[in-house]
Amino acid sequence: MKNSVSQWESSLPPDHSAFEEIVMHAIEGLPVQFRQQAAAVALQVADFAPDTFLEELDLENPFDLTGLYTGIPMTEKSVMDQPMEPDTIWLFRRPILDEWVARGDIELGVLVAHVFIHELAHHFGWSDADIATIAPWQD
């Protein structure tokens, strides 16, 4: 029988592809009325936020940003809007993994789903109360 240390010797964190699978599973877990709309928002998974995002948000540490929504929220869209880029949810793998390890009390898939839903909330214009009805969360 392996001891608890040796069981992790060959374990690696999910790579980009495996992380995207975790995100897809989170999307599939959404209530049906939101799943199709969520699929219409572009998804980008990156190890870290691009420097331009960090600068815009006045963040120095790239580990401080786990996700970001870029676009115009549905509650603010107008037929007059001419989007320059598609609405996009960005998930940053390394900061999410870092938070997961630091917390040590939650499954990775649950954390990924939480970050995704939080960013999706920006797209829909949801309040924190709205988010809680879709994905209850305790900090």
Q: In the predicted model, what is the mean pLDDT of residues 28-39?
A: 82
Q: In the predicted model, what is the mean pLDDT of residues 10-28?
A: 88
- pLDDT tier for residue 1 given thresholds of 50, 70 and 90: very low
pLDDT above 70: residue 134: no
| Percent over 90 (pLDDT), the chain | 45
Provide the pLDDT for residue 11: 72
**Architecture field, domain 13-73+83-134:** 2-Layer Sandwich (3.30)
Q: Report the alpha-carbon distance of residue 50 to residue 130 in Å, rounded.
A: 29
Provide the pLDDT for residue 130: 75
H-helix segments, the chain: 16-28, 32-39, 51-56, 93-103, 108-124, 128-134
Domain ranges (residues) in the chain:
13-73+83-134
pTM recorded for the entire structure:
0.83
- pLDDT tier for residue 53 given thresholds of 50, 70 and 90: very high
- pLDDT tier for residue 135 given thresholds of 50, 70 and 90: low
Q: Enter the tokens of residue 77.
A: 């869209």
Q: Report the alpha-carbon distance of residue 60 to residue 27 in Å, rounded.
A: 30
